Every structure is written in structure tokens, then in C-alpha cells.
Structure 1
Amino acid sequence: MRRDVTLSRLGLAMRAGKVISGEDAVVGAVRSGKARLVIVSEDISENTYKKIREKCAFYGVQLLQGYSRWELGHSIGKPERVAVAVTDDNFANLIRKGFAEIGGGGTD
């Protein structure tokens, strides 16, 4: 499976209203229990990555790392994004499978 298929799945989830984007919004979704999966960009800053990684670990949300901030943003029709959260179990599972098939992303 190609990388763009996983990004297409993320875009589909966004159109379905099942994606939250932006650092603060993602942290809020993790805290509130809405986030089922968090994806951060490969070019995220160290401090931002640490903040999101610690929140995900504390609240038991899987964290994946992959793609550039431009690719993540472009896939959901937004400007550059360093973090996105998927709020639906089915979409989260589809995206996890995509990451596994391309052999990337796992951080936890």
C-alpha cells in the first residue's frame, strides 16, 4: 500500500468530521477521551512532541509518527499541521492498518 492511501483515509475521516487538528486541540481531545489515535509529523518540534507523547501515554492513546507537517495538513485540507487526532474507532483502525502496511509510524 502506498503512503498516499493512508493520507487519503485521513482526509476521508476529516470530511466525516472525525479528525481534530492542531497541537492544543489534539491535547484537549486526548484529555477529554475523544481521541482514538494521534498522528504527529516527522518534523514536529522536540518540545511539542514530548508534550503530546506524554499526554497520549498518560491517557492510553496510541501515538504514531509519520509524514511531514505539509502532508498532514494537505491531507485534511488545512495548512501545515504537526498533530492530528482521529476520534472514530473505525477510521483509527483503518489508519493504523495503513501505517502497518507501509511499515512506519509506531512510537508506543
Structure 2
Amino acid sequence: MTNSQKVLNLLGMATRAGKLVSGEELTIADIRSQKAKIVFVATDASPNTIKKIQDKSAYYNVKCVNEFTQLELSQAVGRSRMILGVCDQGFAKKFQELLTK
């Protein structure tokens, strides 16, 4: 199993654990309030959306991951989503490990 698959599986677990926020507005709100520890934005989201999320993430020093498509993210969480925010330090740490290998 590749690290990408592990990341997607972990996203599913974070969803079931209720540690995930999805959608543009909610994710941005969580980035602002420093709740989001790591943010995923789909590679096929609009360039405008990607830039907005990346800029917000950079400003608030939140890691922003842009390497999965909307389909991959949606399948991982069981709902059609382009933007996901992880609001749990434990999950965020595991994502960091998997993404830096």
C-alpha cells in the first residue's frame, strides 16, 4: 500500500472520528481559529479556490496538501468534497509523517 493510499484511508478514519471539517467556508473558519492542523485541497479545484486556501494556510501557518483529486478525497470521506481540514493534532502528525516519506 502506498503512502497516498494510507493518507486517504486515514482521512476516512478522521471522518468517522469526527475530526474533519469539509467545505470551503468551514475549513477557512477553522484555519482562522487555528483549529485546523492540516488542510487538503483537491488538485482539480478551481485555481482561485486553491490559491485562496493556500494563502490562508500559509498566513496562519497551517500545512496545505494539494496532491489528491476531488474524486480521491470524496471517496476517502464518503461525500463529494474538494476541501478538507483536519482538526486533530494526532491525525495531523500522522499525515505529516506519511506525506514526508
Distance in 1, Cα, partners of 2:28 & 2:11: 18
Structure 1 stretches of 4+ moved >3 Å: none
- Aligned: 1:91 with 2:91: yes
Identical pairs, percent: 37
1:95 CA drift (Å): 1.3
Aligned length: 100
Deviations 1:36-71 (A, max 9, x none): 000111112110011111111111111111111011
Distance 1:70 1:22 in 2: 14
Q: C-alpha separation between the residues in 1 aligned to 2:69 and 2:63?
A: 19
Deviation at 1:100, TM superposition (A): 2.0
The CA deviation string for residues 51-108 of structure 1, in whole angstroms up to 9 with x for no partner, is 11111111111111111101101101112x211000001101111222223xxxxxxx
Q: Secondary structure at the match of 1:85?
A: strand
1:96 partner amino acid? Q
2: distance between equivalents of 1:57 and 1:25?
A: 17
